[in-house]
């Protein structure tokens, strides 16, 4: 209808009416486009805020798990240090047997390495551009790249540790019939503040001959190498924790500005 009226005015050479009709049509098109852009912008803003909220929740959980993993590897290192100290001194006092056996039962274990599910899915879908804050965007990219590198590195460290596990575990057995509560929690028992997220079963140590361990140089070498792999895993998690803290701090700043 608008176009037909413009043509009629052109035939009548009513230039004022032509201009007015043209401005009305152009203005309507412009407002329609602007409204569409505003709606898209509002939807993107809502999507960005929802994504940041989801990342905030997930990275809080990742921080808790990473801190539990750090404590887990520190305890493993302490246990293996007790084993190596006893071997170096050539003596295992009765009061040292429990920490010594704790070192035996956790020497080659590692905490699971988990990345951000929400972040990986967002990158895969091409929606990471919803986050316009350059600091948060860079921190998220650094975390994702660092996580993939850490997962590959942890796999390589695991391959190294498996070379020493058979020699190490050959000198003792597990007591699968023990009535002891075989539940490990990073940082101690749950009632003492230990991390419930790291709870899992660990069998008690059964029979072993300390003198045979002393007489086997491969056993001491394996204990030392396994301690080094624990230190490598610990360092990976400490670096990962730093990246997580950077992300959480920036998210807190953005949410406080809303």
What are the tens digits of pLDDT across the range 235-244? 999 999 999 9
Predicted model pTM: 0.76
**Which residue range(s) make up the domain with 158?**
2-165+208-256
Express each pLDDT in 123-162 by its tens digit: 999 999 889 899 999 999 999 999 988 888 888 888 889 9
Residue 184 lies in a domain: no
**Residue partners of 92: CB distance under 8 A and separation at least 6:** 86, 100, 210
Residue with more model confidence, 188 or 230:
230
Number of domains in the chain: 1
Express each pLDDT in 28-86 by its tens digit: 565 666 555 555 565 768 888 999 999 999 999 999 989 988 998 998 999 999 999 99
Residue 181 lies in a domain: no
Residue 236 lies in a domain: yes
Residue 203 lies in a domain: no
Residue 194 lies in a domain: no
Residue 79 lies in a domain: yes
- For residue 164, the SS3 value is coil
Residue 136 lies in a domain: yes
Q: Are 40 and 32 in contact (CB under 8 A)?
A: no
Residue 138 lies in a domain: yes
């Amino acid at each position: 209808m608008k176009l037909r009226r413009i043509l009629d005015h052109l035939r009548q050479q009513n230039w004022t009416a032509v201009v007015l009709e043209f401005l009305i049509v152009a203005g309507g098109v412009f407002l329609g486009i602007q409204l569409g852009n505003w709606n898209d912008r509002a939807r993107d803003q809502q999507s960005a805020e929802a994504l940041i909220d989801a990342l905030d929740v997930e990275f809080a959980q990742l921080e808790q798990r990473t801190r539990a993993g750090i404590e887990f590897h520190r305890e493993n290192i302490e246990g293996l240090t007790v084993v190596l100290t006893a071997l170096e001194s050539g003596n295992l006092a009765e009061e040292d047997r429990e920490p010594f056996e704790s070192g035996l039962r956790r020497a080659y274990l590692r905490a699971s390495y988990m990345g951000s599910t929400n972040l990986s899915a967002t990158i895969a879908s091409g929606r990471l551009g919803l986050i316009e804050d350059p600091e948060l965007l860079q921190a998220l990219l650094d975390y994702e790249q660092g996580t993939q590198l850490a997962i590959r590195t942890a796999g390589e460290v695991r391959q190294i540790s498996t070379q020493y596990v058979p020699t190490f575990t050959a000198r003792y057995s597990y007591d699968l019939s023990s009535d002891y509560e075989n539940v490990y929690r990073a940082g101690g028992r749950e009632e003492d503040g230990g991390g419930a997220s790291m709870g899992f079963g660990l069998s008690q140590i059964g029979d072993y001959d300390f003198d045979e361990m002393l007489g086997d140089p491969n056993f001491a070498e394996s204990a030392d190498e396994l301690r080094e792999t624990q230190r490598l895993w610990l360092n990976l998690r400490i670096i990962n924790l730093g990246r997580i803290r950077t992300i959480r701090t920036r998210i807190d700043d953005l949410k406080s500005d809303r």
